[in-house]
Structure 1
Amino acid sequence: MTADVKKETMGFQTEAKQLLHLMIHSLYSNQEIFLRELISNASDAIDKLRFAALADESLLEGQGDYQVQVDVDKEAGTITIADNGIGMNRDEVVEHLGTIAKSGTAAFMENLTGDQQKDSQLIGQFGVGFYSAFIVADRVAVHTRKAGDASDLGVVWESHGESEFSVEAKDKEARGTSITLFLKEGSEEFAEDYRVRSVIKKYSDHISVPVIMLKPSVPAAEDEGEEVTEAAPEYEAVNEATALWTRSRTEVSDEEYKEFYKHVSHDFDEPLSWSHNRVEGKFEYTSLLYLPKRAPFDMWNREMARGLKLYVQRTFIMDDAEQFLPLYLRFVKGVVDSNDLPLNVSREILQQDAAVDSMRSAVTKRVLDMLGKLAKKDGDDYAEFWKEFGQVLKEGPAEDFANKEKIAKLLRFASTQTDTEAQDQSLEDYISRMQESQEKIFYVVAENFNTAKNSPHLEVFRKKGIEVLLLTDRVDDWLMNHLQDFDGKQFQDVARGALDLATDSDEEKAKQEKLEKDSEALVERLGKVLEAQVEEVRATTRLTESPACLVVGDHDMGAQMRRIMEAAGQPVPESKPILEVNPIHPLLEMLDQEPDEDRFADLASVVFDQANLAEGGQLEDPAAYVSRLNKLLLTLSGK
């Protein structure tokens, strides 16, 4: 690439155009955040150069004093933010400034409502950085050169923030990026020195590199008979320029913690909670961890960029060091700064380092403790967290056996105690309400809340006043396969295996035995008709209102897990359900007295299909079910 390449005009990616329009029209009430975002990006560019220079010192080009320079020109109506960081080449300029190359873009755009206030909150979840410049500018010019490239490989990008942008070659002696904003009418305040200084102090005090501005000019003293000379312009640091996590907790205000979160996460919203900790001993490191208020749009993409910002001895190493937290805590943001890792550490080394293993274990426990404190301190805040991240946390017991009990205490479920869809009941709450002779924690898994709430399996539990957890998230069946017990109490799926209630009296057990004996002929008859569909048929006292229900074998895969694997195209082992019937239900009593074998077979099939539907299952042959039901209805009408 040389300087004689002509200017080229290109169109924005469709999503970028939509986002630009939204930025300009939805965030006008909080204009000053553009400066925070651009300074944050400049700081990141410097961090990236620091890391790259560890392997190739020539990238520094003989100049290693890092800084972000902010200049205002009141007469021209401009503000310029310049850094001496890593910079960009032409291809990177087109990629980073003309497109939104971030997973979750489609989901983000689908969630836009047209309501400016609601949409501005969505912007915060998505993170936009550079595009915030158009909140205050009607034209933006970017002059950049990548560190290590020749000076004639500089690039100028320019746009009015509408449908297109231009790119052309232009010499640039110094490495890094300079962004000039031509302020629109109504935003002229950001060409005022005092206003810009106040915004930098407010939002960027924690940036670890100096953010410098020209010192306010002081008129030179006039001596009689001597010519007055103008003092040379002099720059001074406006911010504290000290990495926030290196400071003592007592020295950092809540506002500073909140602003640093926005810097490290590129989230417009404030964090829900945070934990700042320095560890000294065998391994020395500092961690500053944040819980976001809202989930990012790409949270369910397990390949998403995730992890903490890693520093070694305050030198930036990488943005997404996923080795310090397990996957089920991928929503946590923050920084970890180690004194023990080598500066040339790679992702491969991180996966094998004993210090990393120790730090991962400690950082994981710190996050779980932070969540535990949040749950005890503020139920509303924890309810907000659970709504956003509860399903991710449910991945924990399968991935982190060592912390299974800690995670279990943080789980929340819907329950027959409240019969509402709100997942606000803890396992400790459940155990505190258990009946004296109750030995197990009972739960039912279903496709949705109404199916769970109205499951025929709950009938005997409601009759006896025994609480049952209502599990309806897609991950729940998988969760319970790994959770198994809590506080010494075993979990029991009420739709799996034979019902065994420790609360049953000798009288109730005798009643069950008599029921089984009296219904032997009916059970045997049903078993023959339905032998292709069921593993067995048996009589039960678990039903009080329904004629029948389907039960999963003790070692068979649950219906929800089976549906998930089928949807994913995974092979599913063959198994048949068990049909449990209530012989004293009028429909079963009628069935027992039915002499016509064909009609008996039709009724038996309808009972089985209805039990399947009550579980949220799908019929193998819906047309046959409708045909049998119509035939039976016509028989009842005498036709």
Structure 2
Amino acid sequence: MNNENKTKHSFQSEVKQLLHLMIHSLYSNKEIFLRELISNASDAIEKLRFSVISNPKKFINHNNTAKIQISIDKTKKTLSIYDNGIGMTYDEVKNNLGTIAKSGTKSFLKNISNDKKEKNDFIGQFGVGFYSSFIIAKKVCVFTKHAQNLSDTGTLWESEGQGEYTIEKIKQKEYGTKIILYIKETEEEFLETWNIKNIVKKYSDHISIPVEIENYDEKTKLFLGRKLIKHKAYGLKIKKEISAKSYQEFYKYITHDSEEPLLWSHNKVEGNQEYTSLLYIPQKATWDMWHRENKHGLKLYVKHVYIMDDAIQFLPNYLRFVKGIIDSQDLPLNISREILQDNKITQNLRKSLTKRVLTILNNLSETDDIKYQKFWNIFGLVLKEGLAEDSINQKQISNLLRFTSISMQKKEQTLSLKQYINNMLPEQEKIYFITADSYESAINSPHLEIFREKNIDVLLLSDRVDEWMMNYLPEYENKKFQSVSKSDISLEKLIKNDKLNIDQKDQNIDIFIEKNKNILGNRVKDVRMTNRLINTPVMVLTDTNDMSTQMAKLFSAAGQPIPDVKYLLEINPKHPLIKKIQNIKDIEKISIWIEMLFEQAIFAEKGTLDNPHQFINRINKLFIS
């Protein structure tokens, strides 16, 4: 056909403004154009698939082999993107290319002009993705033909982005769309095959349509093609069609981990929200897992198009070890990290994905003790953070916790709270625990003596987050938690049948207690006898509502002011040392003994003394007296 049918048109005024902004390189992330064009091509193919299913008689020339093809010609300095999707009619080209059809154009232009930090995030929201071609192209040609068109006539749209464009009817046998970009001299990096390959893999590796790249070979004078997308979009396939090996390979591909994942969950949801998730639990922690602010999160895709890595908005921080992808059909392509945070769709996805992860972990804990124990040994500390961060799912998180205890006789944390409750004494009201700096410190604490004697189990908590964690775990299955280093009425009930059995000649223990009160003064909250000790002469406790020793240590480590902690001093009247000391008449000598015993109890509780030299001097005096 000749050019008699070519017509010239002016861009809509808003498009002129938009093109001016794009041509003058307001978009620092120029590669975004390829994401938009591939996304449009993918949408055209998906639209054709749907149309064929809905009305097959209107698409009798439909070719089932969908493809997106990219061609590079360095001689002509062109980059072409072809798809065999539904294509456009002449009227559709006339109505769609040259205008911005959707409302909100002025708002878009204002935002894109004023907020250069967010400039890349606006592409796609108002149907302007196609115009991003002019970021890197001095001229754009669109060859298109609708799939229902049985003639040999197609449509050519051309523009240099300077305010005008032309449309004409041309000869075209195949339906679909081909966009040819004549690359600016300043943007010839987009004529490099390796660069285009990397961009496609970065933004579009998850789409279900095969993407091929052709590069013109000067020697053979041929276009040599190769497929760019090797990994299938597993989220779009039926789970039973995907082998375990494929899931493992895909995990290694998206995480660059050399080891296979511990487990994974592939889930497709349809209804009010449509999305696909593929979540993995690794076998090992990353080196930066404890840096809460470091990069983590899921790969986000929208309508099968890559949007961003490390989208932290879809899972809480305590699940930061989870890897994988989320592909939403409801989020807009232009979504930014800031918008994600407050987006209602994001919030609903976060709730669903969190429950999904906790469910698969719970199933693992109930079906595979060995594999779950491996998970807990690696990620248990991080999971404990969830008790403070996620009150909604606190029960599910509590079920996943593992501990060691005095009955376990080993350091490894394998005991669940459900198992602890099943092993409780019939008359036991609470779940007892002790926090300490180390397992050795906890297991050897004098606080445990009566518990061993009475065969009452005690959880041994020595991880650095444990004291903090227990502030958010008041009870489990209607059983309250109780620190054994705090005063407790329920424990007194358990051991109420143990009488002190103090002989008549030992009644002066009351006098000894009064001497302790007088000598120690306001350094202690109270001094009293106890039957909680077996092999230790004295120990200290904190009162029920006072700050615990371990919490005071956490405050100190964080540089926070610590309130003055006054302890309860408990004395074991049956201990031989107490029996010996209480009979001492020399006031100075008994004062040294009382001070030394108190500091001994403080040292056992805190692991440090304010004045260790003074403590040593007292011991030396007692040695030579």
Same fold (TM over 0.5): yes
CA offsets, 1:526-566, max 9 Å, x none?
Answer: 11211243221111100011011111121122222211221
The Cα of 1:280 is off from its aligned counterpart by 1.3
Residue 471 of structure 2 aligns to a residue in which SS?
helix
**Helix, strand or coil: the match of 1:536?**
strand
Tell me which of 45, 49, 68 is aligned to 2:32.
Answer: 49
CA distance in structure 2 between the aligned counterparts of 1:320 and 1:569, rounded to whole angstroms: 32
Instruction: Give 1:505-544 correspondences, 5 Å limit.
Output: 507-508=497-498, 519-544=509-534
Match status 1:470 vs 2:453 = no
One-letter identity of the residue aligned with 1:507: N
**Could you tell me which residue of structure 2 aligns to residue 583 of structure 1?**
573
SS at match of 2:330: coil
Q: 1:536 to 1:358 in 2, by over 3 A?
A: same
Paired residues of 2:447 and 2:485 also in contact (CA < 8 A): yes
> Is the 1:438–1:503 Cα contact (8 Å) retained in structure 2?
no
State how 1:186-335 maps to structure 2 within 5 Å.
Answer: 210=210, 232-237=222-227, 242-335=232-325
Residue 173 of structure 2 is aligned to residue 173 of structure 1: no
| 1:347-386 map, 5 Å | 347-386=337-376
- After superposition, give the CA deviation of every residue in 1:456-476 in whole Å (9 maximum; x if it has no partner): 111001001111110000100
The Cα shift of 1:244 comes to 1.9
Distance 2:212 2:206 in 1: 14
Query: Could you tell me which amino acid in structure 1 is paired with residue 315 of structure 2?
Result: L
Closer, same or farther: CA 539–498 of 1 in aligned 2, 3 Å: farther
One-letter identity of the residue aligned with 2:602: N
Output one character per residue of 1:142-192: Cα deviation in whole Å (capped at 9) or x when no partner: xxxxx95799xxxxxxxxxxxxxxxxxx98724276669xxxxxxxxxxxx
Is residue 430 of structure 2 the alignment partner of residue 443 of structure 1? Answer: no
Equivalent pair of 1:609/1:619 in contact (CA under 8 Å): yes
Select 1:592's aligned residue among 572, 582, 585: 582
Structure 1 residue matching 2:494: 3-state secondary structure: coil
Structure 1 letter corresponding to 2:297: G
Give the 3 Å change call, closer, same or farther, for CA 504–555 of structure 1 in structure 2.
closer
Match of 1:495 among 485, 490, 497: 485
| TM-score under structure 2 length normalisation | 0.66
Q: What is the root-mean-square deviation of aligned Cα atoms in Å?
A: 3.7
Label 1:369 to 1:210 Cα distance change in 2 as closer, same or farther (>3 A): same
In structure 1, the partner of 2:381 is: 391
Whole-Å Cα distance in 2 between the matches of residues 464 and 176 of structure 1?
A: 79
Give CA-to-partner distance per residue, 1:375-419, whole Å, 9 cap, x none.
122222111111111111111111111111100110011111122
TM-score normalised to structure 1 length: 0.65
Quick one: which of 302, 327, 334 aligns to 1:344? 334
Aligned 8 A contact 1:551 1:579 in 2: yes
Distance in 2, Cα, partners of 1:512 & 1:278 = 71
Q: Would the aligned equivalents of 2:70 and 2:214 in 1 still touch at CA under 8 Å? A: no
**Greater C-alpha radius of gyration:** 2
Question: Is residue 2:412 matched to residue 1:422?
Answer: yes
After superposition, where does 1:16-35 map in structure 2 within 5 Å? none
1:625 is matched with which residue? 615
Change (3 A) 1:65 1:505: closer
- The 1:634–1:207 alpha-carbon spacing in structure 2 relative to 1, beyond 3 Å, is farther
SS in 2 for 1:401: coil
How far 1:66 sits from its partner (Å)? 7.6
Q: Which amino acid aligns with 1:393?
A: L
- For the residues of structure 2 that align with 1:68 and 1:518, how far apart are their CA atoms? 100
Shifted more, 523-532 versus 303-312: the winner is: 523-532
Give the secondary structure class of the aligned counterpart of 1:392.
helix
Q: 1:495 to 1:515 in 2, by over 3 A?
A: farther
CA distance in 2, matches of 1:473, 1:246: 42
Instruction: Tell whether the 8 Å contact from 1:548 to 1:582 is kept in structure 2 after alignment.
Output: yes
From 552, 565, 569, give the equivalent of 1:562: 552
Deviations 1:205-264 (A, max 9, x none): 97867575889x9xxxxxxxxxxx978353142755642222221121111111111122
In structure 2, do the counterparts of structure 1 residues 67 and 503 end up closer, same or farther at CA, with 3 Å as the change threshold? farther
Q: 1:436 to 1:312 in 2, by over 3 A?
A: same
Note closer, same or farther for the CA distance 1:453–1:67 as it changes in structure 2 (3 Å cut): farther
Structure 1, residues 424-450: CA drift from partner, whole Å, max 9, x if none? 111111111111111111111111011
Q: 2:469 aligns with which of 473, 476, 479?
A: 479
For residues 137-176 of structure 1, the aligned pairs below 5 Å read: 173-175=188-190
Q: Name the stretch that deviates more: 270-279 or 559-568.
A: 559-568
Question: How far is the alpha carbon of 1:373 from its aligned partner?
Answer: 1.4
* Identity %, equivalent residues: 41
Kindly state the Cα deviation for residue 585 of structure 1 after the two structures are TM-superposed: 0.9
Cα pair 2:434 2:459 within 8 Å, conserved: yes
SS for the counterpart of 1:601 is helix
Shift of 1:615: 2.3
1:96-115 equivalent positions in 2, closer than 5 A? none
Q: Given that residues 474 and 481 in structure 2 are in contact (C-alpha distance below 8 angstroms), is that contact kept between their aligned partners in structure 1?
A: yes
Q: Residues 52 and 313 from structure 1, CA distance in 2 versus in 1: closer, same or farther, beyond 3 angstroms?
A: closer
Provide closer, same or farther for how the CA distance between residues 475 and 233 of structure 1 changes in structure 2, counting only shifts above 3 A: same
Residue deviations 1:466-521, cap 9 Å, x none? Answer: 11110000100111111011111111111111353376366336869999987332
- Secondary structure of 1:310's aligned partner: strand
SS in 2 for 1:305: coil
What SS is found at the alignment partner of 1:507? coil
Give me the whole-angstrom Cα distance separating, in 1, the residues matched to 2:271 and 2:609. Answer: 62
- Alpha-carbon separation, structure 2, partners of 1:175 and 1:452: 63
Indicate which of 408, 413, 434 corresponds to 2:398.
408
Distance across 1 between alignment mates of 2:271 and 2:385? 32
Q: Distance in 1 between matches of 2:601 and 2:469?
A: 25
Find the counterpart in structure 2 of residue 142 from structure 1: none
Cα distance in 2 for residues equivalent to 1:537 and 1:621 = 22
| Counterpart contact for 1:206–1:260, Cα < 8 Å | no
CA gap 1:634/1:50 in 2 versus in 1, 3 angstroms: farther
Shift of residue 590 of structure 1?
1.7
Contact 1:67–1:209 (Cα < 8 Å) also in 2: no
Aligned residues: 457
One-letter amino acid of the structure 2 residue matched with residue 481 of structure 1: N
Cα separation, partners in 2 of 1:480 and 1:176, compared to 1, 3 Å: farther
8 Å CA contact 1:416–1:453 kept in 2: the answer is yes
Gaps of 5+ in 1: 1-45, 58-63, 70-82, 85-146, 152-169, 181-203, 218-228
Q: Label 1:506 to 1:457 Cα distance change in 2 as closer, same or farther (>3 A).
A: closer
8 Å Cα contact 1:48-1:316 kept in structure 2: no
Residue identity in the other structure for 2:251: Y
- C-alpha distance in structure 1 between counterparts of 2:477 and 2:514, whole Å: 42
- 1:230 and 1:457 map into 2 onto residues whose CA distance is 85
C-alpha change, 1:404 and 1:50, in structure 2 (3 Å) is farther
Match of 1:545 in 2: 535
Letter aligned with residue 449 of structure 2: E
- Gaps of at least 5 residues in structure 2 are 1-28, 41-66, 73-79, 82-133, 139-184, 196-203
Write the distance in 1 (CA, Å) between the matches of 2:338 and 2:506: 63
8 Å CA contact 1:209–1:242 kept in 2: the answer is no
What SS does the aligned partner of 2:393 have?
helix
